[in-house]
A = this chain, B = another copy of it.
Amino acid sequence: MSACVIQVINPNTSLAMTERIGDAARRVAAPGTEIIAVSPSQGVPSIEGHFDEAIAAIGVLEQVKQGKARGVQGHVIACFGDPGLLAARELASAPVVGIAEAAMHMATLVATRFSIVTTLPRTLIIARHLLQRYGFEHHCAGLHAIDLPVLALEEGAGTARHKVRDFCIQSSRGCDTGAIVLGCGGMADLAWELTQELGMPVIDGVSAAVKLIESLVSLGLTTSKRGDLDYPLAKPLSGMFSPLR
């Protein structure tokens, strides 16, 4: 039996990505940690905007509920916009960590300023809003979009991955940025090799979030139920939402 079971939720419905995210999580999990990689039963195949995020948030809640029933020790939301994060914290009793916050927190521990590389330009606003919400605006030296959709990252050696690498190489030459935050769950497997290649921290939020959950569990800390993250008030959920309660 595992000491710690962490549910890694891919908020989109692409099973290949779920698998890759699960692999990235397992690579860093502590010996006693079991990773369960899941994705919503229904939703969007990729998340590239606020509309996609709103749908994904419901998928996150569906999975948090299932993970809670299963007794997991923590939940990771493995999409860079951290969709449904505060809603999930209300629902969960275990800690919940988003991969955007995880990567940003880690970046501030190893560099004074970091840059973010993401997929489509339209997702930049999501990163901007998170920087503001999390308090890391002053720690961000720049935001860059490779201008390719999320699923382009699924091609093993495709253009998307080359473009991410190119951005990292270029950033490592200047002196304005000390670390790179990978702004998409689909880039998870690039972090390790780019960190080695460039001699500069290239940070993936999936693995970062797994370690943060393990840390919280080890510290005996979980989502505060005092105040505004208390469980959702008991009220009837009608129609398709009824399974969420």
Contact = CB atoms under 8 A, between A and B. Distances in A.
A175 B176 CA distance: 24
A42 B58 CA distance: 14
A240 B40 CA distance: 11
B55 A58 contact: yes
A183 interface: no
A106 interface: yes
Nearest to A48: B233
A129 B125 contact: no
Given A51-B90, A212-B215, A215-B215, A110 B95 contact: yes
A45 B241 CA distance: 12
A140 to B, nearest CB: 10
Given A45-B235, A51-B87, A211-B219, 5 more contacts: A43-B238, A89-B110, A95-B110, A101-B108, A105-B109
23 contacts: A13-B238, A28-B219, A42-B240, A44-B235, A44-B237, A50-B89, A52-B233, A54-B54, A55-B58, A58-B58, A106-B219, A111-B226, A112-B228, A121-B227, A122-B230, A125-B228, A135-B137, A175-B226, A175-B228, A178-B227, A192-B220, A196-B220, A211-B216
Interface of A: 13, 28, 30-31, 41-46, 48-55, 57-58, 61, 84, 86-87, 89-91, 95, 97, 101, 105-106, 108-113, 121-125, 128-129, 132-139, 149, 172, 175-179, 191-192, 195-196, 198-201, 203, 207-208, 211-212, 214-216, 218-230, 232-233, 235-241, 244
